[in-house]
């Protein structure tokens, strides 16, 4: 009973560790950053080095990110040598850690940023504990880090500067991207947030999700992804919908590996999140106008331009307004499109696209083939998980009732935490007719894709490029890949 440590791991060994504790009485976790303590001598030396290093930081700012650690190590060693004192290597490394943490890194929250398990970092005001959303625990956890008024005001200005923006009392709000790709939302002083300056960092995952991750996390089943693979290869249109943090963009990014390797792809986002390994990919990002100036380039304009670039696939980060009309026009004219949107069910997707501000006509809506609903929910044993709740097909418009017919093909059963095939796929039958396949050939193609996915899961092939290479291999030489995989399966089954 009481407070117990449930996990400890390094984020920058030996200088920074994370200790996660659980309080039985409160029924909550605490995320504790543990950094090497400085002796009084080391602390005094660190402060002196900071003063002597200040005039060199202008030069430091001109360097590439990869060169900055070596630059600091070299300059700190020279400064210490000029003091003509003996500093042990252990003390030197500690001092170097704290200087790199504050100059190159993110100061007191550097360990949070470096922790690959963290998805979001939220600071809600002065002297308020910072919260983190932990991937393993699937919840927001209070940390032992907080920033006072001076620290926080200074820190959000630094964050803004690193993202290429400026914050001031006249313009106290920004949405931007940090150099590592993480999304930043920040407010300055108490102009907007009554608790003072605030920030939220939505971290950029260094290694994007792959279909293998989606299976291992049980977000999708093997059969569902084999179905989506075949549909995407045959240019069926798809929308991922769900609530906030349901994993829409992560799932879309993962299944983007199923697009043909040489297809021309154009993506459009408000903030850059997608990472696609295809060589013929053009990523576009919207641009907001500076305060009181013109120059805004929104999704609607980027979509209009994309139509002139003759892409085979168009991916839109999230549709909200009039850009949806252009997106559905693209579908209707033969462009394959994928997008995300906020909606918690298939009926809500259909309702939202038909009404303000999207206003998609009913007949145009049938150009959409598939709707996937993502949820962030709980299993029966209380675990918080991301699941694909349903894969539904938009099959036809009923001329009598003037309503769209949508059929669920796969559904998640929350009682048993399993996925079930619930309906006959019209889309697969259309693919079979388009390709001139027999029923046997269709099921063989689904089986092959399922075997490839199962092979990668069993052999823990999770690296983004490795997964893409195997998927690409099936496009370029399917027989050779299947012989290789089936040969491995047979050898493993031999006694």
Contact 150, 127 (CB under 8 A): no
C-alpha–C-alpha distance, residues 471 and 278, integer Å: 12
Q: Which residues pair with 473 in a beta bridge?
A: none
The answer to whether 3-202 and 211-424 have equal CATH topology is: no
CATH of 3-202, picked from 3.30.70.20, 3.40.605.10, 3.30.450.380, 3.30.2010.10, is 3.30.450.380
474, β-bridge pairs? none
Torsion of CA 483, 472, 442, 392, to 10 degrees: 140
CB within 8 A of 224, min separation 6: which ones? 388, 391, 410, 419
Q: What is the Cα 244 distance to its own chain's centre?
A: 12
Pair 359, 325: CB distance under 8 Å: yes
Alpha-carbon distance values, 122 to 134, 183, 198, 201 (Å): 12, 12, 8, 7
List 31's β-bridge partners, or say none: 20, 143
Task: Please state, in angstroms and rounded to a whole number, the distance separating the CA atoms of residues 494 and 480.
Answer: 21
Distance separating alpha carbons of residues 353 and 328, to the nearest angstrom: 10
Return averaged pLDDT per consecutive 10 residues of the chain, 495 residues in all: 90 96 92 96 92 71 74 90 91 94 92 94 97 92 96 95 89 88 91 92 86 96 98 97 92 96 93 89 84 76 90 93 91 93 95 92 92 92 90 86 89 94 95 96 96 96 94 95 80 56
- Hey, what CATH topology would domain 211-424 get? Rossmann fold (3.40.50)
What pLDDT score was predicted for residue 52? 85
Q: How many CB atoms lie within 10 A of CB 40?
A: 7
Task: Give the C-alpha separation, 147 to 157, whole Å.
Answer: 14
| Dist CA 317 CA 283 (whole Å) | 11
Q: Choose among 144, 114, 145, 130: nearest CA to 11.
A: 114
Q: What share of the chain is helix, strand, coil (3-state, %, to 5)?
A: 40, 25, 35
Q: Are 146 and 165 in contact (CB under 8 A)?
A: no
Rg, Å, the chain Cα set: 26
* Contact indicator for 187, 156 with CB cutoff of 8 Å: yes
Given a contact cutoff of 8 angstroms between Cβ atoms, the answer to whether 406 and 391 are in contact is no
Q: What is the pLDDT of residue 214?
A: 97
DSSP letter at 203 equals P
Whole-number Å distance between alpha carbons of 140 and 3: 18
Contact criterion met (CB below 8 Å) for 156 and 165: no
pLDDT for residue 66: 76
Q: Is this prediction's pTM over 0.85?
A: no
Cβ proximity of 125 and 92 under 8 Å? no
Domain locations in the chain as residue ranges: 3-202, 211-424
Q: How far apart are CA 184 and CA 182, in angstroms?
A: 6
| The dihedral sign for the CA sequence 466, 467, 473, 475 | negative
């Amino acid at each position: 009973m009481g407070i117990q440590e449930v996990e400890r791991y390094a984020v920058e060994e030996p200088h920074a560790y994370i200790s996660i504790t659980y309080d039985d009485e409160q029924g909550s976790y605490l995320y504790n950053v543990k950094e090497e303590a400085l002796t009084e001598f080391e602390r005094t030396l660190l402060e002196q080095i900071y003063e002597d290093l200040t005039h060199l930081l202008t030069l430091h700012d001109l360097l590439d990110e990869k060169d900055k650690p070596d630059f600091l190590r070299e300059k700190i060693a020279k400064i210490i040598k000029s003091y003509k004192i003996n500093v042990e290597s252990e003390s030197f490394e500690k001092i170097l850690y704290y200087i790199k943490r504050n100059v190159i890194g993110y100061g007191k929250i550097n360990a949070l940023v470096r922790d690959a398990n963290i998805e979001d970092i939220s600071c809600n005001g002065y002297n308020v504990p910072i919260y983190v959303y932990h991937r393993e625990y699937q919840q927001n956890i209070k940390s032992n880090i907080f920033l006072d008024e001076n620290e926080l005001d200074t820190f959000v200005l630094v964050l803004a500067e690193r993202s290429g923006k400026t914050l001031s009392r006249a313009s106290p709000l920004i949405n931007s991207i940090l150099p590592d790709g993480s999304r930043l939302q920040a407010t300055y002083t108490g102009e907007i947030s009554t608790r003072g300056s605030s920030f939220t960092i939505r971290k950029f995952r260094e290694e994007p999700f792959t279909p293998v991750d989606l299976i291992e996390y049980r977000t999708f089943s093997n059969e569902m992804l084999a179905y989506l693979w075949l549909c995407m290869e045959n240019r069926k249109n798809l929308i991922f919908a769900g609530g906030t943090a349901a994993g829409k963009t992560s799932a879309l990014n993962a299944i983007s590996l199923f697009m043909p390797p040489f297809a021309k792809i154009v993506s459009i986002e408000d903030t850059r999140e997608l990472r696609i390994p295809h060589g013929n990919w053009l990523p576009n990002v919207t641009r907001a106008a500076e305060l009181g100036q013109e120059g805004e380039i929104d999704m609607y304009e980027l979509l209009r331009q994309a139509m002139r670039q003759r892409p085979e696939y168009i991916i839109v980060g999230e549709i909200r307004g009039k850009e949806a009309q252009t997106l559905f026009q693209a579908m209707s004219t033969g462009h394959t499109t994928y997008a995300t949107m906020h909606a918690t069910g298939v009926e809500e997707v259909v309702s939202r696209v038909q009404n303000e501000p999207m206003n998609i006509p009913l007949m145009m809506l049938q150009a959409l083939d598939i709707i996937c609903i993502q949820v962030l929910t709980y299993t029966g044993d209380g675990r918080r998980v991301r699941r694909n709740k349903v894969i539904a097909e938009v099959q036809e418009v009923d001329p009598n009732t003037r309503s769209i017919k949508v059929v669920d093909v796969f559904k998640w059963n929350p009682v048993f935490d399993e996925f079930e095939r619930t309906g006959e796929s019209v889309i697969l039958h259309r693919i079979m007719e388009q390709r001139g396949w027999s029923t046997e050939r269709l099921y063989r193609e689904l089986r092959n894709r399922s075997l490839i996915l199962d092979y990668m899961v069993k052999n823990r092939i999770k690296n983004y490029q490795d997964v893409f290479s195997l998927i690409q291999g099936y496009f370029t030489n399917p027989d050779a890949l299947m012989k290789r995989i089936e040969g491995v399966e047979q050898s493993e089954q031999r006694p």
